[in-house]
Amino acid sequence: MTGTTTVNRYLSGRFAPVTEEVTALHLPVTGRIPEHLDGRYLRIGPNPLGVEDPAAHLWTLGAGMVHGVRIRDGRAEWYRNRWVRSSSVADRLGEPRRGTPVDPRTDVSPNVQVAGLDGRTFALLEGGIRPYELTYELDTVGPCDLGATPEGFSANAHAVFDPHTRELHALGFLYGSDHVQHIVMDGTGAVVRSALIHAPGNPYMHDFALTENHVVLFDGPVVFSPAHLATGIPFAWDRDRPARVGLVPRTGGGVRWFEVAPSLVGHTLNAYEDGTDVVVDLVRHPEGFDIRNVGASRPTLDRWRIDPVRGRVREERLDDRVQEFPRIDPRRTGRPHRYGYTAAVELYAPPVGPDDPRPDAGFSNALLKHDLLRGTTEAHEFGRFGAVGEGVFVAAESPAAEDDGYVMAYVHDPERGAADLVILSAQDFTGEPVARVHLPVRVPLGLHGNWVPGAP
């Protein structure tokens, strides 16, 4: 197109960072928020305060910003968005620093996950970056020791809470280390035990899974690469490195590895035991994964059945649509599940200007519900130019079935140029939303979040 200028898709459109922190009270609602819901819907993502090289900027880079909606008694009481104030973020904003980092070299504003535990709120990253604690209203307290061990590991972005044992499990890794560490915390976040696991070559273990008796590890061809540090994404695909999945007893012991097809496990849906087999449902990126364009590797929802008796893994495609960000009813963690929820991913040409209405590469306008017993999938689409990321399942007040509850997500409303917190009925997934909470501002497409029940 003559006379047009291609722009960085991650600095325009639905990914574009916002420039202000906002507090809005008594939010308007279309529909009816379920009366029993009492808590906060939180989601985090990168939101840079400034970009030195716009042409090279990636969507996973930038200080973390948390977006939250407080819900109680059928009302949306507030919306807040706040930067996580690492030392550099506080300096940039001209504010006093919050707390003292253990190591100034790794004092980074977490931007991957936000979660609640024992009445506290945490923003999390990985690679040995310490979590930051936040107040109930999302202001920064400072760096904290959640999952910290003497070896320098700490809770990672995809720590897994086991609702049956009330333990929080984390898999920590450090850039440049040949080990990862399985860390187990109690319901208050105190470390009760940890175990080092040899992982030569420094693989990128972004996620892991739990079953009743096992920790499931994923060792693939994506490894830490010092040569890529300058890009901000210090990882590369090593074509000579095999892929494998490992089983470690939760109570401690050595890891047993099983080879799989070359791939990167983006995120896990869940894992469980079926007799002597371990079943893992996950999003698999085949060879060629590039975090700079997630959709380009065409991630799909797969099932790996690990057979320790025969020493093999059977791989099965559950759904070949391009998708990411899998979630389940968290009550089913580590136990057999029937349903899963993912965000559909599409590929689009780069936008040609800030007002280009097309959805952004890497996300689409649909959430998917998978019935893994029947082998069917439903899609809820949010309009031609809508955009939605991860959906979070929240159970009904007295759930009678696994899918008796709601799926929550921030959805871009192109007509308002702002976001809605949309609440879908999981059992009427393609029907009209139960409620739309209308936020006064746009929420950039970001990373992960959670429903955190309870008052301060």
Interval 304-360: pLDDT, tens: 999 999 999 999 999 999 999 999 999 999 999 999 999 998 754 444 455 554 444
CA distance 309 to 148: 35
% of the chain at pLDDT higher than 90: 75
CA distance 353 to 1: 12
- Which of 8-22, 56-70, 72-86, 278-292 tops mean pLDDT? 72-86
pLDDT of residue 3: 44
What's the pTM value of the predicted model, to 2 decimals?
0.93
Check whether 128 has a pLDDT greater than 90: no
Task: Dump pLDDT digits (tens) for 371-426.
Answer: 999 999 999 999 877 889 999 999 999 999 999 999 999 999 988 999 999 999 99
Query: Is residue 348 helix, strand or coil?
Result: coil
Sheet architecture: strand order including 160-162: 160-162, 167-173, 179-185, 191-198
Tell me if 102 sits within 8 A of 131, measured CB to CB. Answer: no
Instruction: Give the type of residue at 185.
Output: M
If we measure between CA atoms, which residue out of 36, 55, 114, 11 comes closest to residue 448?
114
Question: Which residues partner with 52 through β-bridges?
Answer: none
If you average pLDDT over residues 234-257, what whole number do you get? 91
Q: Is residue 118 part of a domain?
A: yes
Query: Is residue 296 helix, strand or coil?
Result: helix
CATH number of the domain within which 142 lies? 2.130.10.10
Q: Name the DSSP letter for residue 311.
A: T
Task: Dump pLDDT digits (tens) for 192-220.
Answer: 999 999 999 889 999 999 999 999 999 99
If we measure between CA atoms, which residue out of 331, 345, 336, 343 comes closest to residue 451?
331
Tell me if 294 sits within 8 A of 324, measured CB to CB. Answer: yes
Under the banding of pLDDT at 50, 70 and 90, the label for residue 294 is: low
Helix (H) or strand (E) holding 92, with range, is: helix 87-93
Tell me if 70 sits within 8 A of 77, measured CB to CB. Answer: yes
Find where tokens 């950039």 sit. 444
Q: Is residue 392 part of a domain?
A: yes
pLDDT of residue 266: 87
Under the banding of pLDDT at 50, 70 and 90, the label for residue 6 is: low
Tell me if 337 sits within 8 A of 272, measured CB to CB. Answer: yes
Alpha helices in 171-278 (DSSP H): none
Instruction: Give the type of residue at 323.
Output: Q
Check whether 191 has a pLDDT greater than 70: yes
pLDDT of residue 163: 96
Token readout for 187 is 């319901």
Task: Dump pLDDT digits (tens) for 92-101.
Answer: 999 999 999 9
If you average pLDDT over residues 438-456, what whole number do you get? 95
Those residues whose C-beta lies under 8 Å from the C-beta of residue 195, and which sit 6 or more positions away, are 181, 182, 248, 252
If we measure between CA atoms, which residue out of 387, 439, 291 comes closest to residue 12?
387
Q: Is residue 42 part of a domain?
A: yes
The total number of structural domains in the chain stands at: 1
CA distance 385 to 353: 15
Q: Name the DSSP letter for residue 353.
A: S
Q: CA 299 → CA 242, 283, 327, 330, distances in Å?
A: 18, 6, 15, 23
Token readout for 238 is 């090593």
Check whether 49 has a pLDDT greater than 60: yes
Q: Which domain holds residue 309?
A: 9-453
Instruction: Give the type of residue at 278.
Output: V
Q: Is residue 122 part of a domain?
A: yes
Task: Dump pLDDT digits (tens) for 98-121.
Answer: 999 988 888 999 999 999 999 999
Under the banding of pLDDT at 50, 70 and 90, the label for residue 10 is: confident
Handedness of CA 274, 451, 205, 348 (dihedral sign): positive
CB atoms near residue 451 (< 10 Å)? 19
% of the chain at pLDDT higher than 70: 92
pLDDT of residue 352: 47
Q: Is residue 2 part of a domain?
A: no
Check whether 369 has a pLDDT greater than 70: yes
CA distance 32 to 434: 6
Check whether 427 has a pLDDT greater than 70: yes
Mean pLDDT, all residues of the chain: 91
CA distance 232 to 229: 6
Q: Is residue 1 part of a domain?
A: no
CA distance 390 to 407: 10
pLDDT of residue 31: 98
pLDDT of residue 21: 98
Q: Is residue 3 part of a domain?
A: no
How far apart, in Å, do the first and last CA atoms of the chain sit?
A: 54
Phi and psi torsions of 294, nearest 5°: -55, -40
Helix (H) or strand (E) holding 233, with range, is: none
Check whether 5 has a pLDDT greater than 60: no
Q: Is residue 256 part of a domain?
A: yes
If we measure between CA atoms, which residue out of 428, 354, 398 comes closest to residue 5?
354
Find where tokens 């059928």 sit. 74
